[in-house]
Amino acid sequence: MTNIPSPPKPEWGIAKKDKIRAQVKSRFYYMFWGAATVSVFVGQLYVGTGYRSFARSLNRLFDTIDVEVHKGIPDMWDNPKIIPLAEYDK
């Protein structure tokens, strides 16, 4: 049998089996970010629920208030306690 030499390794990079992992993430990394994500989500639900109940109570309050707006000077017949200024000029 003839002895065939193996092809040379490429010089531009490291072979796959020789690569070193750049980041090794532990189980605690995933637990931390999972807990952070869940806590932000639950906080958003809590704030949204509080906002909705606050809006309902404000709507109930606004529904009970009646506002009357009169334009101009009130007429003497609308309120007999108001005396027109023209009567004092005489």
CA distance linking residue 1 with residue 26, whole number of Å: 50
Q: Per residue in 12-38, pLDDT tens?
A: 665 566 666 667 788 899 999 999 999
Is the pTM here over 0.85, yes or no? Answer: no
Q: Where are the domains of the chain?
A: 24-72
Whole-angstrom distance, CA of residue 90 vs CA of residue 88: 6
What is the distance between the alpha carbons of residues 48 and 56, in angstroms, rounded to a whole number? Answer: 12
Calculate the alpha carbon distances from 42 to 50, 51, 67 in Å: 12, 14, 40
Report the largest interatomic distance among the alpha carbons of the chain, rounded to a whole angstrom: 140
Summarize pLDDT for 40-83 with one digit per residue, the tens. Answer: 999 999 999 999 999 999 999 988 987 776 666 655 566 666 66
